[in-house]
Structure 1
Amino acid sequence: MKVLVISDTHGRTSHVCQLIERLKMHGLTHIIHCGDCIEDAKYIEHLYPELVMYKVAGNCDGYGAGGTILEYIDDVPIMITHGHRQHVKESYEEMWIDAIAHEAKLAVFGHTHIAYLERKDDIILLNPGSMTLPKDENLPSFAIIEIKKGEIVDIGLMQTLGNGEIHRKL
């Protein structure tokens, strides 16, 4: 299974939809949207009903928005959240604690607009960055997760260049 992870699209979905069209030709099966804005995720879900969509709200989605969900993709427990409630702009400590509490193998989040990938023991934290509003001179980014037989076999942090080319960052 191939999973596209995106976050922080903030109302700009055209490049995301172009990317989805490209990835569908390479076996894309799922999309995770880590918030900001959840309406973008709903729009994408409407356009691509053949893809399984998981989505959470972010801090820009209204007062009190931004819960955490635990989903299983091919038996892999994945915690999905936006990250603002875990204060990820200051530290990832609360994200690690939440991932352990949820018994997740992978925790995906956004909020910082900066791509991040780290493994500690049996848990992976992943922030895909932002395809539409990257921060700190980063290129637009997203992540691709490949899952086979209940195991994460690859996680790629990807960047898009101005000419539409895609490069693997990590």
Structure 2
Amino acid sequence: MRHYITIIAIALAGSFLAGAMLVTPGPARAGDYDIWGTQKTDALGALAAGARYREFTPSAEPSYQNIIMNYILMINKDLSESIAVVRVATRPEKDLLFINGKLYSVTENFGAIARDALDAQLRRLSSDYGSPVVQADPALTTYTFTTSATKVIVYAYPRPQAVDCRVYFYSASLFKMLMSE
């Protein structure tokens, strides 16, 4: 059975981690991205040594899709020209979304993974964020993890053979950050 997965994590911007590595190979752990509002130059400086990346704007790549970006643009479409994406060639591939040069969101694109790998991701999320609330129907299963600092929502779409997986991290103070722009 193949599943399409989208994992959305909302982390509090209030806790800044001194010396935290912003982008490392492998999936994130709780707290990895609790550095919302970081300047792009600082974020790029925190990339793992030798990390390959490219920068683009969504307007230059109209096929680019990002749920968090779309949500931000629904709130304030005038920010569209202020958005830059830095795509880091790691496994999973990571997209850092900046607005006016400040980090607003990180997306981890796992692509097609085995069901066992999805189960491992759910176990990892459970260990970091607690037990999920699960809602299932034939076309979609959602897993919602909640802590005082972070909310994670997993969308699983049944397909044969594998799981396509994407993880979104963004500040729980998103509205406050947007108000300052």
| TM-score, structure 1 as length reference | 0.28
Structure of higher RCO (CA pairs closer than 8 Å, 6+ residues apart)? 2
